[in-house]
Amino acid sequence: MDMLGSYVDLEILYQYVWHQFEKFPEYPNKTAYLFAGDGLDQMFIIAPSGFLSKLPTAPAPLAKVNRLMKDWLSLS
């Protein structure tokens, strides 16, 4: 398995998805991009500072991240 190559591919994918959606006026500063991989214990997040400021600095269970997303979107 080429772990380094896979990591580089994912980094390119993250940037592509982010840049593609940010060019539409309805997405900037209103969209959080959360990238998680099966079997990984970390998540890569690209989001406005208003969302990022709500995230805990220590590792958090996925259920807590889900609640924070709902709160940020006013879906609770």
How far is the C-alpha of 3 from the C-alpha of 71, rounded, in Å? Answer: 35
Q: What is the pLDDT along the chain (76 residues), one digit of tens a residue?
A: 666 677 778 778 888 888 888 888 888 778 888 877 777 777 888 888 888 888 888 888 888 888 988 888 887 6
The residues facing 43 across adjacent strands are 36
0.85 exceeded by the pTM? no
Q: Which sequence spans correspond to the domains of the chain?
A: 3-72
